[in-house]
Amino acid sequence: MQYEIKTGSDAIHLTISGRLTFAEAIHFPQVLSELAASPSKGPLEIHLSQMDFIDSTGMSLFVHIYDWTQSVGAKVTIHKASGPVYAALDRAAFNTLFEFK
């Protein structure tokens, strides 16, 4: 798993690539801390075009992101999830939590 957080004037951009599975869970608190420390209070744009695979532990990161954005009133959009990643997120009914583009 690799990730990058960029804060723009209009939004926070989180790009995740590689695999997001139980083996990467150790990095999740760091991702959440960096997001929470971001100076922008705009929407969160999550870019997944380079993500290869996600499992249910990986999905729990998105649940935490959802909880955090609900607490600060930010909207979340997931961009370019495809293949097995989109299928897994769809199976978990994440379209009820996030907008997909």
Partner 1 sequence: MTQKRTDIRVISHLAGRRHARGLIRMAESGALPLRNDNDDPAVLTLFSGKDQAGVGELLDHPSSWAIDLDCGDPGKGLTRMPARLLLRLSTVSVLRHDAVGLMVEALCSRLPRLISIRDDIHLALQEAVGNAVIHGNLGLDGRLRATREGLLAFTQVMHRRSDDPRFGHRPVTIAADWNQHHLVIRVEDRGRGFKPSRIPVPIKPTAPSGRGLCHIRALCRRVSFTAHGRRISMRFALP
b/e burial code for range 70-91 (CB count within 10 A of at least 16 → b): eeeebebebeebeeebbebbee
Closer of 8 and 56 to partner 1 (Cβ): 56
Give the residues lining the site for partner 1 (CB under 8 A). Answer: 19, 21-23, 25-26, 28-29, 32, 53, 55-57, 59-60, 63-64, 66-68, 83-84, 87-88, 91-94, 96-97
Cβ-contact 65, 78 below 8 angstroms: no
Any idea what DSSP says for residue 50?
T
Query: Of 49 and 95, which has the nearer Cβ to partner 1?
Result: 95
- Least CB distance to partner 1 at residue 79 (A): 19
User: What number of CA atoms fall less than 13 Å from residue 44's CA on the CB side?
Assistant: 28
**CB of residue 68 vs partner 1: minimum separation in angstroms?**
8
